[in-house]
């Protein structure tokens, strides 16, 4: 199902409800860098986030080195940010909250 691209006002409101997410330089994505105690914790987070991504059929761009996971969320189909990006961001924060940070 194609999602509606959100306008500036909706994006601003959605960002206020999230912790640590920022707009990408090009404006089409939101980004966050997570840090965990270990690779095991980071990978556990990625595993849980992957299940959320499958549930929403909305997938992250991400980069992992050891305990760090850099995430970028955007909707390629819509060419910008949609509600799904913010749903996945909230689900990722929930998965991260359960795990030990560095």
* Minimum separation from the CB atom of position 41 to ligand H2B (A): 24
Does 57 contact ligand H2B by CB under 6 A?
yes
Q: What is the dihedral of CA 22, 7, 88, 61, to 10 degrees?
A: -60
Of residues 102, 40, 80, 89, the one with CA closest to residue 62: 89
SS3 59: coil
Cα separation, 10 vs 97, whole angstroms: 25
Does 58 contact ligand H2B by CB under 6 A?
yes
Contact window for ligand H2B (CB under 6 A) among 5-13, 18-26, 36-44, 56-64: 56-64
Residues in 70-99 that interact with ligand H2B by CB under 6 A: 75-77
Q: Which residues lie near ligand H2B (CB under 6 A)?
A: 57-59, 75-77
């Amino acid at each position: 199902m194609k999602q509606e691209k959100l306008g500036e006002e909706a994006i601003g409101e959605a960002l206020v409800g999230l912790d640590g997410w920022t707009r990408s330089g090009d404006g089409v994505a939101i980004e966050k860098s997570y840090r965990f105690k270990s690779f095991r914790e980071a990978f556990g987070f990625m595993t849980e986030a992957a299940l959320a991504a499958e549930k929403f059929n909305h997938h992250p761009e991400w980069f992992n080195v050891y305990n760090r996971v850099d995430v970028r969320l955007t909707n390629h189909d819509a060419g910008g940010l949609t509600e799904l990006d913010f749903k996945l961001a909230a689900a990722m924060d929930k998965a991260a909250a359960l795990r030990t940070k560095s």
